[in-house]
Amino acid sequence: MERVCFVLKVRRERLAEYRERHTAVWPRMLAALSAAGWRDYSLFLRDDGLLVGYLVTGDFAAARAAMAATEVNARWQAEMAPFFEAPAGAGPDDAMVPLTEVFHLD
């Protein structure tokens, strides 16, 4: 299994709404993530907008591709894009660059 951690930046003025949106993630989105192999998926948000994501999956590239192929992910990403500081034209999924793991206590 592959452990994946990534960081994104949420706009400070959108933090409260971002948190609120994640109290009720669409059931179809949750089902799509599970079907695509996203396990133990967590998001952590700091008050300055730093968002840390963590998940476990068999193959991150395949899990991302499986999500990219779903209609529900396209809708979710379109709705979430305005919440993030990202290069013009880049969606949140595009900015999910995994960090290099340097230690794991097994």
34-65 pLDDT tens trace: 999 999 999 999 999 999 999 999 999 999 99
Catalytic-role residue among 3, 12, 19, 22:
22
* Structural domains of the chain ordered from first start: 2-95 (3.30.70.100)
Decide if 104 is catalytic.
no
Which of 72, 74, 8, 2 is closest to 38 using CA atoms?
A: 2
Question: Rounded distance, CA 13 to CA 83, Å?
Answer: 9
> How large a percentage of the chain has pLDDT more than 70?
97
> Residue 15 belongs to what H/E stretch?
helix 15-21
Q: pTM of this prediction? A: 0.90
